[in-house]
Structure 1
Amino acid sequence: MTNHISLKKNVANFLKNHKFSLLLVLTGIAFYWSFGYDLERSDFIKLISLYAGLFFISFKLIQLEKNNFWLLAAITVLFRLIFIVATPNLSQDFYRFIWDGNLILEGLNPYLSVPNEFSTNAGLKDALNQGMGSLSAGNFTSYPPVNQLLFAFSVLLGGKSILGSVVVMRLLISLADLGILYFGRKLLLTLDLPTYQIFWFILNPFIIIEFTGNLHFEGVMLFFLIWSIYLLHKKKWIWSAILLGVSVSVKLLPLLFLPLLWNYFLKKRSFKNLPKNALIKNKIRQARELNFQKLLIYYLIVGITVLISFLPFISSELIYNFSASIALWFQKFEFNASVYYVIRWIGFQLKGYNIIETAGKILPFIVILILAGLAFFRKNDSTEKLLTTMLLGISAYFFLATTVHPWYIGTPLLLSVFTKFRFALVWSLLVILSYSAYANTEFQENFWLITIEYVVVIGVFILEFFQPKLLRRLPYYK
């Protein structure tokens, strides 16, 4: 009886102390339900209204409950469960995922054919072919091997039905998000940073909608990436390399981070403030040689891990088809770009036509130069500095990219959690403006909205980099 009374008091106190937060949670449930089950992506006004409301709800929940880690963790799970049987409504990519998974289960190599080569009259394949759209159906797959195996696993457990496969994919992505929560919290603790900062990623409606809702596997890639970084921080660099290789085999993006490890391995804090006598100098030289060997082995392990993942699909045509598919993103596709759109406009003025093929070949080299500069001239001799450099490098890549789908922003957003930079949070709010392209049947982007997105994001980035004190009064910086 006493225990029952005590429980009632505890519940009453909890409701009293968290009543506004609970109201926010209930509102969030209603908004996410509407987003998942009652929204057409062409209804742009409703889309941005729900999204803005959800962003405010997440912001206030973190602000109010930042000292209640497990309450916020429970809310992140609850919000994700709302989408469990929803069909993704902002992206068609999941149809291609299921298509590739079906091919693997049929013993076919998904890298050797394009969907519209198959003659289908009815059934699952016809539905998938139509659902993914002509652009995806007319090109080779661009998804690396570990991603392909996850597709096949989802189709297998999903009973080869579209909804069943969607549910399994959603569970896998949600589990990856929880893994990010786990290792993100551990990394924040080791860096002596507030653990609630991980919720700016994990409770962000952008992440919940794009990863759990729309089934983008960037979340799985980021899970292996943050696990790898945590192990690297703990000096377990062999396992870190293996996990980074797995991350690359989900999405190729982490390859951009490999050059940035140069100074992390070669310039350790232990080399600083030491006497400059010959014996000490010799020990420093030997230590650097050893670290250089470790770096080479690290790269080798990453490469071997990626190679092993490709072995089940290896063929003479794989490299050509896969590389051709990747090249399309640089030389054919364009969406939600920033610097590139300015370059394209200049090209129209000077040449009178779209110069994407030329720009798509030059911009990657500029990115390589930027990454090289960050690798060799920034002192990435600590995990904190390395994470900041990774954020700057990946942001430069996206600022110069010809195609920046909204879910791509998940990578800079996660990295920003461990740094002083917050422009990626602003980006995660404003990137929803790119969905204005679906508000018309011609899928024409609204360049005024794209301009607003990048003027604000790049403006905040510049202020943070050169005048950080001007932004320190904002709640997210505290």
Structure 2
Amino acid sequence: MLLNPTFLKLNKLPLLMVLFSVLFYWAFAYNLVRTDYVKLIMLYCALFFLFYKLVQRFKSNISFLTYLAFGFRATFILAIPNLSQDFYRFIWDGRIILEGINPYLFTVEDFISQDKFPVAEALELRAGMGDLNASHFTNYPPINQLCFVISAVFASKSILGSVVVMRLIIIAADFGTLYFGKKLLEKLKLPTHNIFWYILNPFIIIELTGNLHFEGVMIFFLVWSLYLLFVGKWQWAAVVLALSVSVKLIPLIFLPLFFQWFNKRTTLENEASTSLNLTKLIAFYIIIAVTTFLLFAPFYSSEFINNYSKTVALWFQNFEFNGSLYYIAREIGYLFRGYNEIAIIGKVTPIIVVLFVLGITFFRKNRTPIELITAMLLALSFYYFTTTTVHPWYVATLLILSVFTNYKFPLVWSCAIILSYLAYINLNKADKSENLWIIALEYTIVYGVFIWELYIKNTPETESK
């Protein structure tokens, strides 16, 4: 038995750590206000310390760690998210679709301003999501919308009911990530317990299960796709990768990186094989494009294209939160022009990111599975280092990719990211701007570890953790 008397006797302290973890998660879920910054930081740091020690202590007991991971998640089942209000928009979109209305064509404010209430609890949902979310068109892709619809089917008149259904979907996705993550680690000949740096991480449990961010579903499809690719089932890998893109658009940044994977030669003279692999690469991209198009097709209209492109553009040219290199560029703009340069920087940054991705596509070796995943990690890291907006849950994708490499800076970032919730803590309460000292502290930690691993430690890509 997993918890036989001998096990209990030999693990009194670790089991006490488990008990405290459950209590701290319960406090986080049901007895925490976001603006209670001291309690927020103390609970999070305590949970992160306990998580780290538990993985270290039980890394050879995969079953026990699995029970812990989903036991901790169960603590949040009946909790209303307390660090994010995005879930109100998720519920709105799901219910709108059930009413036969295309969510990409109307903002929430379009209805409320005309005293129209097309879904149950419309006013509560509008108040919960806030002015900013209500005034913009939805930007959630179709598979994400499907998750919202499922919650609406089972709980069309209860906010808590909808939250529970969405939470169960995210937990199920974590089961899938655990399953394929372990298989992928075995394929790469890496320790299988590495997956728990993601699955058991309090950052993942709180941000995805607790706050209902669907990066967890996107990551499930991404890991599944990589596993299929590395076992030779590239056609299905393309389909599943399209599903990942249709939850969150972020995997699109990885597409150029597959070039070397499909064009590697078994011998230097094997040009016929290279030509065949190029054909496979093109087919791989076509499958992704066609699958993604078919998933978006039910919502297609000329208005949809216009609304969706405008909404996506907002993330580059209007929104600012928890940036790093962008904030430095912004301050330089202030010095020379006297006002915010986001309209200019927001247009230049995507071009720089594309050039960087193309650079590591063609000038870096990405031919083995670990080399390819490392390239994906570096590409996405560069994007987050330069973009205008880095919400905490964005780091989840970096964290899962790092599991299959020897880079630990995403693990460190998953701890330091809690500082971003303190960004608006200013001594002058009238000042609603971010506290750049706190942002600087966060990125000093992250960049310090990143530079140490990349240039000083010179982390090898194939050495086991």
Partner of 1:386: 372
Partner of 1:355: 341
Contact 1:41–1:439 at 8 Å: present in 2 too? no
Partner of 1:70: 63
Contact 2:151–2:163 at 8 Å: present in 1 too? yes
SS, match of residue 457 in structure 1: helix
TM-score by length of 2: 0.95
Tell me how far 1:305 sits from its aligned partner: 0.8
Measure the CA separation in 2 of the matches of 1:224 and 1:469: 31
Pair 1:448-2:423 in alignment: no
1:106-153 superposed Cα distances (whole Å, 9 cap, x missing partner): 000000010011134886011101100000000000100111111011
Tell me how far 1:17 sits from its aligned partner: 1.8
| CA radius of gyration, larger in | 1
1:44-93 superposed Cα distances (whole Å, 9 cap, x missing partner): 11101100000001000001000000100000000000000100000000
Amino acid at match of 1:215: L
1:202–1:233 CA distance, 2 compared to 1 (3 A): same
Amino acid at match of 1:242: V
Measure the CA separation in 1 of the matches of 2:173 and 2:227: 15
SS, match of residue 317 in structure 1: helix
Identity, in percent, stands at 54
1:345-401 superposed Cα distances (whole Å, 9 cap, x missing partner): 000011000000100000000000000001111111111100000000000000001
Partner of 1:154: 151
Partner of 2:399: 413
TM-score by length of 1: 0.93
Residues 240-319 of structure 1 correspond to what in structure 2 (within 5 A)?
A: 240-268=237-265, 270-271=266-267, 281=269, 284-319=270-305
Measure the CA separation in 2 of the matches of 1:238 and 1:404: 32
30, 33, 36: which is aligned to 1:40? 33
Partner of 1:4: none
Measure the CA separation in 2 of the matches of 1:293 and 1:154: 41
Measure the CA separation in 2 of the matches of 1:11 and 1:71: 12
137, 140, 147: which is aligned to 1:140? 137
Partner of 1:188: 185
Measure the CA separation in 2 of the matches of 1:62 and 1:20: 14
Measure the CA separation in 2 of the matches of 1:411 and 1:26: 29
Measure the CA separation in 1 of the matches of 2:425 and 2:179: 38
Measure the CA separation in 2 of the matches of 1:169 and 1:124: 17
Tell me how far 1:160 sits from its aligned partner: 2.9
SS, match of residue 403 in structure 1: coil
Partner of 1:232: 229
Structure 2 gaps, min length 5: none
Pair 1:169-2:162 in alignment: no
Contact 1:267–1:379 at 8 Å: present in 2 too? no
Amino acid at match of 1:248: V
Amino acid at match of 2:127: Q
SS, match of residue 384 in structure 2: helix
Partner of 1:83: 76
Amino acid at match of 2:92: W
Tell me how far 1:26 sits from its aligned partner: 0.3
Amino acid at match of 1:456: I
Measure the CA separation in 1 of the matches of 2:264 and 2:459: 32
Measure the CA separation in 2 of the matches of 1:319 and 1:21: 53
Measure the CA separation in 2 of the matches of 1:381 and 1:469: 20
Partner of 1:57: 50
Tell me how far 1:443 sits from its aligned partner: 4.6
Tell me how far 1:10 sits from its aligned partner: 7.0
CA RMSD of aligned residues (A): 1.8
Partner of 1:463: 452
Measure the CA separation in 1 of the matches of 2:418 and 2:53: 20
Amino acid at match of 1:89: N
185, 208, 211: which is aligned to 1:211? 208
Contact 1:51–1:205 at 8 Å: present in 2 too? yes
Contact 1:267–1:380 at 8 Å: present in 2 too? no
4, 7, 16: which is aligned to 1:11? 4
1:290–1:121 CA distance, 2 compared to 1 (3 A): closer
Tell me how far 1:161 sits from its aligned partner: 1.2
Tell me how far 1:157 sits from its aligned partner: 1.1
1:92–1:109 CA distance, 2 compared to 1 (3 A): same
1:15–1:99 CA distance, 2 compared to 1 (3 A): same
Tell me how far 1:439 sits from its aligned partner: 4.3
Measure the CA separation in 1 of the matches of 2:186 and 2:453: 24
Measure the CA separation in 2 of the matches of 1:105 and 1:339: 42
Partner of 1:396: 382
Measure the CA separation in 1 of the matches of 2:178 and 2:339: 47
Tell me how far 1:477 sits from its aligned partner: 8.3
Measure the CA separation in 2 of the matches of 1:351 and 1:443: 23
Measure the CA separation in 2 of the matches of 1:111 and 1:143: 9
Contact 1:42–1:438 at 8 Å: present in 2 too? no
Deviates more, 1:169-178 or 1:157-166: 157-166
Measure the CA separation in 1 of the matches of 2:327 and 2:156: 44
Residues 67-146 of structure 1 correspond to what in structure 2 (within 5 A)?
A: 67-119=60-112, 120=115, 124-146=121-143
Pair 1:323-2:309 in alignment: yes
How many aligned residue pairs are there? 457
Measure the CA separation in 1 of the matches of 2:464 and 2:438: 26
Structure 1 gaps, min length 5: 1-6, 275-280
SS, match of residue 254 in structure 2: helix
